Amino acid sequence: MKTEVAIITITKVIEGPTMTAATPDEVDCQQRQLVCIDDSGYIERVINESDDDFSAVKRDAEQNDRLLTLKSNEYLLPGFIDLHVHAPQWPNAGVALDRPLNEWLDTYTFPMEAKYKDVGFAKRVYDDLVGELLANGTTTVLYFGSVDNPANLELAKACVNHNQRGFIGKVAMDNPDQTPENYRDASAQSAVDDTERFIQQIDRLNQTSPIKQTAVITPRFVPSCTPESLKGLGELAKKYDLPVQSHCSESDWENGYALEHYHKRDAEVLDEYGLLTDKSVMAHGTLLTQADLDTFKARGVAVAHCPISNVYFGNAVLPVSKLLQQQVKIGLGTDISGGYSPSIYQNIRQAVMSSRMLNDGVNSELAPAQRGTNYPPISAKNGFYLATVGGAKSLHLKTGQIKARYLADLQVVKSPLKSFEDESLDQIFEKIMYHASKADVKQVFVQGRLAKTSNN
């Protein structure tokens, strides 16, 4: 009996300098490589200029019109992974960030999300949002949708249409004491049933979609859900072996709610209902205790660090270096619209700044020895790791690095500043991390498919 051997066809070869995270502290920068992408959207080989067949592979790709040679000031990076976006909040990005979290939710956020009963409105917003995130170099996004499934399906369709990989959750929120009458699930059972229906809708959509979307179990957070809905959602997560997303230890108010109503920390409540698994991503975590982190590590739970949003609503700074040292999974999220910017580049910068302020301290009335903390600040290299490898590990995706057999999720980025003398690739990398904007992201590929291009 003959064994069939799959024939790999190279559909694109990208030639140019590459930058990819090797470890949390190291970035591998290469001056000239060939990144060979196969017909399934994976990187088949990465060929160094010193390899014997470099010239032959390049020549073959050129002759068959499969070669993309980057310009002299362009660099190939992995696409970014955004672990926390509230898709329906996009029209409110930057609005009312000076208000307390519970007031911001009740006055601005819930009324906005309630508008997504209008599917036409949802379609317009989501088409714009997905395009904007791709334009910023973001190839995979973990999305909170809204309560309403027709709108959530429009979000999934927007991801398919734009060639973005989406992890999308129907938001469950059934607690009448903490959610508005016009924007909540009718009951715990309906929250669970509608979540299961959305899972089935995504399965049907994936039958004809080249880039698969993933349904995510999404209890908004402990205050918004009853024990009955939390229990049912935990059972769904186990039944379908799906990712889970929520907020955890985000603010004094949210943390205090769990302590008052359950006499437990919110991490303990979520764990009790089976919502902390190795496929769970919990946003913010600024107030996580060491016991919480021990639980996260034991369960394999990831943290979505949202540094811009945390400035406004987190009530503390997440000690990123502590999580890295303890090998708790962690990536980056923009948290639109609690975070005003759709750019992961901006969030890398804020993550570095916030970590320095945590280390140095902010109260000038204290003596220097008392002012800060023992948590070391992170670097731009650490932030880049979170935005790529950290996000990929959090979602169990083989992407986030420019390596053979990894998904070809890539961004072509123009160096944002003019060079006046010879610079090392490490220096150029840091300039990109601190200066790049949407205008500098020239092309984006998701699973080898062109998702965004710019001629500027």
For 70-84, write each residue's pLDDT tens digit: 999 999 999 999 999
**Average pLDDT over every residue of 4-18:** 83
pLDDT at site 3: 53
pLDDT at site 419: 87
Q: Output the CA torsion sign for 333, 342, 415, 158.
A: positive
Contact 441, 80 (CB under 8 A): no
> What is the rounded distance in angstroms from the CA atom of residue 213 to the CA atom of residue 54?
36
pLDDT at site 4: 55
The residue among 419 and 130 whose pLDDT is bigger is: 130
Q: In the predicted model, is pLDDT for residue 454 greater than 80?
A: no
- Band of residue 255 on the pLDDT scale cut at 50, 70, 90: confident
**Average pLDDT over every residue of 337-360:** 97
**What single-letter DSSP state applies at residue 389?**
I
What percent of the chain lies above the pLDDT cut of 90? 93
**Average pLDDT over every residue of 352-371:** 94
pLDDT at site 337: 94
> What is the rounded distance in angstroms from the CA atom of residue 149 to the CA atom of residue 215?
12
Contact 407, 43 (CB under 8 A): yes
- Band of residue 115 on the pLDDT scale cut at 50, 70, 90: very high
Q: What is the pLDDT of residues 286-299, one digit of tens each?
A: 999 999 999 999 99
Start and end residues for every CATH 2.30.40.10 domain found in the chain: 1-78+400-453
- Band of residue 456 on the pLDDT scale cut at 50, 70, 90: low
**What single-letter DSSP state applies at residue 375?**
S
pTM over 0.85: yes
Q: Half-sphere exposure of residue 205, counting CA atoms within 13 Å on the CB side?
A: 24
> What is the rounded distance in angstroms from the CA atom of residue 245 to the CA atom of residue 216?
7
Contact 155, 127 (CB under 8 A): no
Task: Spell out a b/e string for 116-142, using b for 16 or more CB atoms within 10 Å of the CB, else e.
Answer: beeeeebbebbbebbbbbbbbbbbbbb
Contact 205, 156 (CB under 8 A): yes
Q: In the predicted model, is pLDDT for residue 190 greater than 80?
A: yes
pLDDT at site 385: 98
- Band of residue 2 on the pLDDT scale cut at 50, 70, 90: low
**Average pLDDT over every residue of 407-430:** 95
Q: What is the pLDDT of residues 166-176, one digit of tens each?
A: 999 999 999 99
> What is the rounded distance in angstroms from the CA atom of residue 274 to the CA atom of residue 251?
22
Superfamily of domain 1-78+400-453: Urease, subunit C, domain 1 (2.30.40.10)
> What is the rounded distance in angstroms from the CA atom of residue 434 to the CA atom of residue 146?
33
Return the structure tokens found at 225.
């859900």
Q: Output the CA torsion sign for 192, 194, 197, 198.
A: negative
**Average pLDDT over every residue of 40-50:** 96
Name residue 330's beta-bridge partners.
303
Contact 345, 137 (CB under 8 A): yes
pLDDT at site 71: 95
pLDDT at site 455: 59
**Average pLDDT over every residue of 156-167:** 98
**E strand intervals along 210-329:** 214-219, 244-248, 280-284, 302-305
Contact 24, 30 (CB under 8 A): no
Q: In the predicted model, is pLDDT for residue 1 greater than 70?
A: no
pLDDT at site 301: 98
- End-to-end CA distance of the chain: give it in Å, rounded: 55
Within 10 angstroms of residue 293's Cβ, the number of other Cβ atoms is 19
Q: In the predicted model, is pLDDT for residue 345 greater than 70?
A: yes
Q: What is the pLDDT of residues 281-339, one digit of tens each?
A: 999 999 999 999 999 999 999 999 999 999 999 999 999 999 999 999 999 999 999 99
Start and end residues for every CATH 3.20.20.140 domain found in the chain: 80-395
pLDDT at site 102: 86
CATH architecture, domain defined by 80-395:
Alpha-Beta Barrel (3.20)
pLDDT at site 7: 61
pLDDT at site 6: 52
> What is the rounded distance in angstroms from the CA atom of residue 80 to the CA atom of residue 401?
10
**Average pLDDT over every residue of 423-430:** 96
> What is the rounded distance in angstroms from the CA atom of residue 184 to the CA atom of residue 152?
15
* Rounded to 5°, angle at Cα 321 from 381 and 297: 115
Q: What is the pLDDT of residues 86-101, one digit of tens each?
A: 999 999 999 999 998 8
Q: Where are the alpha helices (DSSP H) in 361-444?
A: 368-371, 380-385, 391-394, 425-435
Q: In the predicted model, is pLDDT for residue 389 greater than 70?
A: yes
Q: Which residues are within 8 A (CB) of 39 and not within 5 positions of it... i.e. 6 or more apart?
A: 8, 9, 10, 11, 448
